[in-house]
Structure 1
Amino acid sequence: MNIKIPQYDIDFTKEGQDHFFLYCKDLKEPSRPASTSPHRHNYYCLSFLYEGQVPDFVDVTYDLIHAPAILILNVEQIHIHTDLKDCKIVSMAFSPEFLYGQDKKLRLHTETVFTQTSLKLSDGNMDDLDQYIKLIIQNYKMPDKDPEVIKCLLDILLIKCAKLIENSDLKDAGNKDVFKDFQKLLKKHYRDNHQVKFYADALNITPAVLTQTVKKAGCNTPKEMIDQRLLIEAKRLLYWSDVTVKEVAWELGFETDSYFNRFFKKFTGKTPQAFRIEML
């Protein structure tokens, strides 16, 4: 497959950043040049938007994010850097290695945060997070900064962000651990397993229990989550690459390209080829 999406990696060690990089921009400061080229990164990124608004283009979705909010980028997620003029923002980039050593509970919090692309905050939420953001900035700017201190503060931020997401998206959820485990399995196996029974068996529960758990978590059904995961990846490949429709179908585990065509048209009203032409 000839994917045309470049990946811009940071060699954190070479840059002397200890796997963590911080960018702060005040309202009146000039911003870095915007990049209109789609690309991926080898690191996570959290951007805390205090004032103003920012165009957010992630995967094939565009949104205009208004402060206060968090912009969230997972490792290797396709995006475009947009103009940050007329806004106050603090961005933190950190490698997966920077989070090395997290216990299971902390890893689950991290995974919860990076299932999102943005999160709207209240002024109170931002004030709460700002306490830790300021401490990170303060420690980062020290000549003898200690990465362990920054990591501990980042862990607190991730926990607080995860709690905000859980409170907004998983109210009255049943078994949150089962739901999160399903999300993890789906991320790993969506290409080769499209059936709900596979995920239920892997979780040692029945499909009915999995469906009930997913619905309590505020979603529709496991099957709809599987289909939506396949659909967004199909759109990514069709939009950002020049692979054929048949190759996309093969990459996503469809038995035939005609089956993939029917699947795609069911959810979009267009064939994959028509979608690609329309997006050009």
Structure 2
Amino acid sequence: MMTQTASTLINPETKALAFKIFAFEDDAYFKEVKNYNYYSMVLVTEGTGTLRADFSEYLLEAHSLACFSVYQPFMIKADTDLKGILINFHPDFFCIHKHQQEVACNGVLFNNIYESPVVSLAPAEVHSLLQIINELKAEMQNAALAQYELLVSYLKIFLINASRIKLNQNQPVIPGNKQEPFILQTLKDAIEAHYKTKHSAGEYAGLLNISTRALNRISKVHFNKTITNLIAERIIIEAKRELYLTSKPVKMIAYELGFNDEFYFSRFFKGNADVSPQRYRDTVGFSRAEA
């Protein structure tokens, strides 16, 4: 096994990881499910593998970037030698919610339940992102004035560039039935409008005047997820946002998301995030926006 190196910053107040850059040369680090209280970005420079994230599997190839939100479970199994860079950052280091106006990566790189977490990159795009990573690594070795501000600035540049790449990529053409794009967009709109009150696949099939089986088939083909998966992921994204940005009691958050039973909501959250709502709040943050 080849040497793997990391540059790490620790939050002096919490003693927890704040920011990390890790160069990997095999899949040893990713063989077990990763489910951490910080954001993760995997830039693959060489090799191929299979990525499993949440409920789905994706092909991971050289010249690709995969992005994962806080406590989003993922694991990677290499098919050939896998090399690249892993970047981790805690919400206390950089909060994508609070900086949405400056860096619109939320809903693009992170928390996008309708698209693959993997972004394909051109060689020039890989080179550009690696240059930013080199600037980050150099600054991490330089504990000088305003180090945090400069690191965050470089991280913003990385996120903006990666978001632009993903947004500029051509959307795949859906063959066959011309009605499918309309149905897919209508489904997304319906989930965004009703995920707090409608939690079953059948309810969305009813809204779209289509059978549950047919809607699930379309969802599986184009989103690589069932309707139930999509609904669960959307609820969890909103629950995480509320837990992080507000001081609302878990019971209130549960009620606002359509759960009359706080304990059922907690089981639902833990079943999908592998962590309890309270532990999520304790390890990710608490009412940061109100501080």
Q: Residues 1-280 of structure 1: matches in 2 within 5 Å?
A: 12-13=11-12, 14-15=14-15, 17=17, 19-25=18-24, 27=25, 32-36=28-32, 38=33, 40-82=35-77, 86-100=81-95, 102-114=98-110, 115=112, 116-144=116-144, 146-168=147-169, 190-193=195-198, 230-232=228-230
Write the distance in 1 (CA, Å) between the matches of 2:105 and 2:150: 19
Change (3 A) 1:96 1:229: farther
Q: Percent identity?
A: 18
* 1:32 shift after superposition: 4.0
Match for 1:231: what amino acid?
N
Write the distance in 1 (CA, Å) between the matches of 2:189 and 2:142: 37
Q: What is the Cα-based RMSD across aligned positions, in Å?
A: 4.6
How high is the TM-score relative to the length of structure 2? 0.52
Write the distance in 2 (CA, Å) between the matches of 1:59 and 1:90: 21
Write the distance in 2 (CA, Å) between the matches of 1:133 and 1:140: 10
* 1:127 shift after superposition: 1.5
Q: Secondary structure at the match of 1:111?
A: coil
Match for 2:152: what amino acid?
K
Q: Deviations over 1:10-60 (max 9, x none)?
A: 98545464x2112112x4xx6644443x45221111111111123211112
Change (3 A) 1:186 1:153: farther
Q: 1:46 touches 1:73 (CA, 8 Å); kept in 2?
A: yes
Change (3 A) 1:57 1:147: same
Structure 2 gaps, min length 5: 1-8, 173-186, 201-206, 208-217, 234-256, 260-291
Change (3 A) 1:82 1:142: farther
Structure with more of its chain in helix, by fraction: 1
* 1:109 shift after superposition: 2.7
Write the distance in 2 (CA, Å) between the matches of 1:156 and 1:43: 19
Q: 2:35 touches 2:72 (CA, 8 Å); kept in 1?
A: yes
Structure 1 gaps, min length 5: 1-9, 172-181, 196-206, 208-219, 236-251, 255-280
Write the distance in 2 (CA, Å) between the matches of 1:152 and 1:70: 20
Q: Secondary structure at the match of 2:104?
A: helix
Q: Deviations over 1:228-266 (max 9, x none)?
A: 55334569xxxxxxxxxxxxxxxx969xxxxxxxxxxxx
Q: Secondary structure at the match of 1:98?
A: coil
Match for 2:164: what amino acid?
K
Q: Deviations over 1:83-114 (max 9, x none)?
A: 59722211111112222495442353333211
Q: 2:27 touches 2:77 (CA, 8 Å); kept in 1?
A: no
Q: 2:31 touches 2:76 (CA, 8 Å); kept in 1?
A: yes
Match for 1:160: what amino acid?
N
Change (3 A) 1:33 1:96: closer
Change (3 A) 1:70 1:111: same
Change (3 A) 1:151 1:167: same
Q: Number of matched residues? A: 195
Change (3 A) 1:232 1:85: same
Q: 2:136 touches 2:154 (CA, 8 Å); kept in 1?
A: yes
